[in-house]
Each structure stands twice: as C-alpha cells, then as structure tokens.
C-alpha cells in the first residue's frame, strides 16, 4: 500500500480500486478502512448514512483479499466500497426507509440488486438516508434528520435518494444504489454533481426494495464516472425469478462502446421542457451548452416538443400515491415495525400505529392515493392518470423514431436551501418535472454533471434519455459528454 494512492481514495474509480487490489497496490481491507476514515471525518456534518456496516465490509474485504492471496480471478467490482439506500433489504442490517414505523426493522432476506452488487465483489459500507419511504426530493422527510449537500451544507442533496448521492459525492463510498420512482436517483445526482442513472423499467429486479410505486420504481447507481455507472449496471441488471416484472431481455456489457463517440447519433433536445417557465436560466444555459458540445462532437442535434409529458407531474401524483397507499398498507403494527402501545382494539391499533409511525408526507401521499382509488373517484383520477400515462408513452415512442437519445435538464434548479421548500409540497413536487415522464414511460435516463453554477458554484446536471432497453446508447452519449467537458466535480467541502 502506498499512502499517496489511498489519500486519493475519495476520487478513485471502481476500476482503479479493482486494478489496485489486483496489482497489490492496496488490499480490500485497506480500502474499507479508508472509506470508514473518510466517513468518520465527514459524516457528522453530512449525515448520509442511517447505519454503517463495518463488520459486513470487513468480512467482504477479507473474502476479496483471500482470493488475491490464492491467486484467484477477482470479480468485476472487487473491493469497491458501496452504500445502499435504506429501503433495500440486506441481512445483518436494519431497513428503515427512514421511517419511525420501521425504525427497528431488521432484514431477513437480501434485495436482489444488493446481493448481485455484493456478489460482484463490492464492499457493503452502510445504508443511506432518504426521504421517508422515498416520498420527497430533498431528503428532509427523513425521520432521522436531513442529509446535507457536500457542496454546501446549508443545502439539500436532493432526494429521495439524497444519502446515496451525498455519500458518493463526498467520496465516502465509490458507488451507491438508489431507487427512482419519479426522479429520486437523477435529481439528487444533478444536485450533488454525480452520475446517476435510472435503468429501463424491468431491467433491474425490484425484489427486496421496499416498494413505493411498483409500476414506477427502479433501482440504479450513483457513481463519479459514467464507466463506473456502466459497471454497476452490468452487475445488477438481468432477469430475476423473484420479480415478475423483471424482463428476460438480453443484458449487454454496458462498458462496451462507451468510447465510441456520438458522431452521427441523432440527439433530440426536448425544446418545450428546456423552455419551461420554472427552469432557472443557468440550468437552461448549461443544457444548451451541453447540446452545443454534443454537436461539436458530431452528433446530429435536432429539436422536439413533448406536450403530453407536461401532464406527467399530474398523472404521477395520482398513480404514485395510489400504488403507495396500497404498498404501505402492510405497515399496520401487527407483524413488525412500530406498534402504538395500549390500543383499545384492532382498529385503534391500526389507526394509532400508522398515525404515530408515519411522517407527514407519507400520510399526505397515503391519503391522496386512497382518495384517488375510492369508489366514485377511481375513473376520474386513476383512470385518467393511466390514460395520460399511455399517451406519454406513445409520445416518447414517436420521438424515438426520430432520435437515438433525448436531452432535457435533470432538475429545474440547483440544490436549494434546507427548509426552503419544506413547507411547500407543490414547489417541491416541481423538482421532478423533468424526470417523472421517464418513469411513467418506463424509459432509462441518466443525469451527468454538465456545468457548475457561475454564481453559487453548485453542480448542474443534464438528463440523457434512452429508448427502452437501450441504456448502451444513452451511456455512450453520457460518456462522450463527460470526456469533452472534463469537469472537476470534487465538492469543496468547505466548513467541515
């Protein structure tokens, strides 16, 4: 081990870590301890984690180091420190969803995507903070306190996977997994300057992730490079017998072709989204600049409007809460989780356990969803939202006849101040206006850093949208942009 290489731990890529372990430059155990050292220094200010798992990490590192000693071939993510959003089950950890109702809940089985990442050699460093049950865009809706943005501790990291985003941005881990129901990976990715991907719906098994909205949820990675994102996707993608909505589509090697460039690719900018009234001028400018870069690299840039997608937000706030109200019914105080003491009878037990166990935003979504599915309202709300969803899907299908990828901003603004939108749910919901339509259509999307704000220095992300199961082309464009822009996305970490 060389001290100089590990002092740069926070910027090491997954490939560099594996290569360093293979070459004997450092051991997996040293990597794990480097991760925890950095966490020790930064975590009190950032609060990215709900739980740290040093014992699991040590065991995993020991297995890797034993392989090295035995001269065995190492798996592709050997020794790569990884963190998981706290809605993913892993035996030996609590899975709380940042909710009081699951505060002491211990996993009894493994989430498939987590298991696959660990089987690929990653080290389980800990479980990350989130908005309660993934309801939110700032990680302020956590029962255990907000996560702070490593770029500015007074600001949110986005959400709901804010802990996963902050942990990668601050260099506490190399990769992390989040879940994205309406933008919960991509939006915090943009706000923390990380690479953040939501794969195609059905590409990654949902088994073991505590469901928010089953027809929208998808697991994906946070990384500091596009190549790392492709490597994580390689590990977690593919059919799973435990998830009936995971598809049997062939899984390519997503790292292949990353360097092929964008020459001749048809890139469509979604003009009406870029021009949306709520979009900050600096975000709009950064998007245009990214497009100009792609054009310079040889992409054929064109324009398209997606007017139906403007209704995505409304449809999402029916479908998402409707499914959530059903998925969260099981948290009733009967079998596990928080149970209100001294209930008079079963009904009282249900009502008090849920009222005391769930936070305000969860209760708001459960009530919205319950209402939307109620007899007499179903057709007007849920029925209409499903029709809208179908129209949005068709609109994208038509767009992909003209373009290979589509481009929008990821989020309309840079990271906002903690507390700024906490009392204004509608303004908070608007944070996901660009990301939600993809979940409704089941399309893959990736946010890559494309600029830093001239005034605040905060990161700005651009969203690249791929066609169904064509993450490869999307990653290729992301990789070309990343290489051309060559931005330094190391947060200043001032004030720590």
Instruction: Using CB under 8 A, list all residues that contact another protein.
Output: 87-89, 95, 97, 102, 105, 108-109, 111, 206-211, 213-215, 241-245, 322-323, 326, 329-332, 334-336, 346, 350, 370, 373-375, 378, 382
Q: How far apart are CA 403 and CA 364, in angstroms?
A: 39
Nearest distance from residue 182's CB to another protein, in Å?
15
Q: Which is nearer to another protein, 87 or 129 (CB)?
A: 87
Looking at beta carbons only, is 113 or 474 nearer to another protein?
A: 113
Q: Which is nearer to another protein, 134 or 230 (CB)?
A: 134
Q: Which is nearer to another protein, 35 or 97 (CB)?
A: 97
- The helix or strand, by DSSP H or E, that contains position 16, with its residue range, turns out to be helix 14-22
Nearest-approach distance from CB 458 to another protein, in angstroms: 34
Q: Nearest approach, Cβ of 207 to another protein (angstroms)?
A: 5
Q: Which of 85, 127, 198, 452 is catalytic?
A: 85
- Alpha-carbon separation of residue 82 from 65, 127, 276, 326, 327 (angstroms): 17, 9, 36, 31, 27
Q: Is 421 marked active-site?
A: no
User: Is 112 part of the annotated catalytic residue set?
Assistant: no
Distance of CA 480 to the CA centre of its chain: 22
Q: Which two tokens stand for residue 470?
A: 């064509």
Q: How far is the CB of 334 from another protein (least distance, A)?
A: 5
Letter string b/e over residues 320-330, b meaning 16 or more CB atoms within 10 A of that residue's CB: bbbbbbbbbee
DSSP assignment of 240-268, as one string?
A: -TT-TTS-------TTTTTTS--TT-EEE
Q: Which is nearer to another protein, 95 or 388 (CB)?
A: 95
What are the residue ranges of helices labelled H in 70-174? 112-119, 162-169
Q: Which is nearer to another protein, 243 or 395 (CB)?
A: 243
> In angstroms, what is the minimal distance from the CB of 56 to another protein?
18
Euclidean distance between CA atoms 28 and 274, whole angstroms: 44
128/50 Cα distance (integer angstroms) = 5
The pairing of beta strand 405-409 with beta strand 459-466: antiparallel
Query: Residue 336 has what DSSP assignment?
Result: S
Give the active site residue among 142, 184, 225, 447: 184
Q: How far is CA 214 from CA 22, 136, 217, 349, in A?
A: 40, 17, 6, 27
- How far is residue 148's CA from residue 416's CA, in Å, rounded to a whole number? 11
Q: Where are the beta strands (DSSP E) in 93-192?
A: 123-128, 175-180
Q: Which is nearer to another protein, 301 or 373 (CB)?
A: 373
Q: Shortest gap between Cβ of 125 and another protein (angstroms)? A: 20
Residue 26: CA atoms inside 13 Å, Cβ hemisphere, count?
25
Q: CB of 410: closest distance to another protein in angstroms?
A: 26
137, 160, 176, 205: the active-site residue = 160
Q: Which residues are catalytic?
A: 85, 160, 184
């Amino acid at each position: 081990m060389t001290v100089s290489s590990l002092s740069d731990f926070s910027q090491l890529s997954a490939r560099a870590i594996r290569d360093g372990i293979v070459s004997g430059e450092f051991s997996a155990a040293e990597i794990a301890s480097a991760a925890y050292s950095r966490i020790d220094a930064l975590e009190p200010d950032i609060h990215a984690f709900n739980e740290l798992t040093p014992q699991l990490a040590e065991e995993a590192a020991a297995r890797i180091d034993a392989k090295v000693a035995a001269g065995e071939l190492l798996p592709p993510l050997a020794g790569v420190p990884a963190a998981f959003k706290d809605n993913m089950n892993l035996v030996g950890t609590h899975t709380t969803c940042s909710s009081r109702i699951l505060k002491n809940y211990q996993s009894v089985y493994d989430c498939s995507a987590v298991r696959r990442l660990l089987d690929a050699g990653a080290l389980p460093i800990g479980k990350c903070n989130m908005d309660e049950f993934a309801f939110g865009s700032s990680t302020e809706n956590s029962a255990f306190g907000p996560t702070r943005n490593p770029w500015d501790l007074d600001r949110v990291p986005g959400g709901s996977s804010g802990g996963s985003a902050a942990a990668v941005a601050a260099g506490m881990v190399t990769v992390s997994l989040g879940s994205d129901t309406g933008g919960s990976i991509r939006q915090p990715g943009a706000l923390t300057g990380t690479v953040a991907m939501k794969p195609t719906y059905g590409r990654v098994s949902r088994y073991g992730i505590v469901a928010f909205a089953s027809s929208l949820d998808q697991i994906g990675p946070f990384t500091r490079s596009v190549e790392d994102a492709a490597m994580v996707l390689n590990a977690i993608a593919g059919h799973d017998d435990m998830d009936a909505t995971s598809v049997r589509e062939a899984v390519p090697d997503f790292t292949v072709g990353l360097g092929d460039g964008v020459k001749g690719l048809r890139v469509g900018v979604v003009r009406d989204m870029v021009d949306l009234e709520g979009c900050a001028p600096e975000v709009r400018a950064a998007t245009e600049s990214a497009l100009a870069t792609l054009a310079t690299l040889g992409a054929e840039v064109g324009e398209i409007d997606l007017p139906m997608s403007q209704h995505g937000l409304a449809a999402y706030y029916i479908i998402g809460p409707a499914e959530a109200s059903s998925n969260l019914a099981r948290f009733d105080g009967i079998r596990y989780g928080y149970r209100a003491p001294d209930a008079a009878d079963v009904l009282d037990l249900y009502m008090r356990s849920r009222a005391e166990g769930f936070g305000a935003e969860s209760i708001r979504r459960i009530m919205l969803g319950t209402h939307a599915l109620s007899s007499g309202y179903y057709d007007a709300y849920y029925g209409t939202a499903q029709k809208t969803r179908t129209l949005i899907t068709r609109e994208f299908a038509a767009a992909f006849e003209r373009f290979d990828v589509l481009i929008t901003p990821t989020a309309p603004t840079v990271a906002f101040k903690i507390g700024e939108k906490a009392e204004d749910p509608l303004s908070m919901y608007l944070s996901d206006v660009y990301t939600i339509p993809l979940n409704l259509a089941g399309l893959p999307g990736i946010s890559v850093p494309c600029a830093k704000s001239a005034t605040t220095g905060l990161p700005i992300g651009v969203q690249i949208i791929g066609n169904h199961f064509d993450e490869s082309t999307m990653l290729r464009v992301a990789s070309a942009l990343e290489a051309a822009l060559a931005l330094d996305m190391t947060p200043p970490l001032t004030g720590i």
